[in-house]
Amino acid sequence: MIIRSAVLEGHVAEENRVNFDHHMATTVLTAIARYPGIREVRLRRPVEQEAGAPPVYMVFDLWFATLADMHAALASPIRQEVRTRIGEVMKHFEGRVYHLVLEEGAGVKGTP
């Protein structure tokens, strides 16, 4: 499984957070979910960060079966729609956005 994470490192002013967060969680998430071949998309927000950690505001995780599926999705016409939807509120975000492409590895479940 391939996970493409879009990391928003920075902040949104308090007076813009409700609108920004709502737009990302509804409009943007829905647009991303239309990518061809996408298995799942999740939006995550930090609830606690270690001292010295970068100020991550939110992370989008896009799950694909293969790297080829991810590249096909990013080459699709829907990507421009996603960029448009994100651009509608990015004026409120101060910071940088970067992407990580990760391969899901082995895991072990903990005991309850």
pLDDT digits (tens, 9 = 90+) for 27-66: 999 999 999 999 999 999 999 999 999 999 999 999 999 9
Q: Which CATH number fits domain 2-103: 3.30.70.100, 3.40.109.10, 2.40.390.10, 3.30.365.10?
A: 3.30.70.100
Query: What residue segments make up the domains of the chain, in order of their start?
Result: 2-103
Q: CA Rg, the chain, in Å?
A: 15
Per-residue pLDDT at 112 exceeds 90: no
Residue 8 has which token pair? 């928003």
- Considering Cα of 74, then 80, then 85, then 91, what sign does the dihedral take? positive
Q: What is the DSSP letter of 10?
A: E
Per-residue pLDDT at 21 exceeds 90: yes
- What's the length of the chain? 112
Per-residue pLDDT at 10 exceeds 90: yes
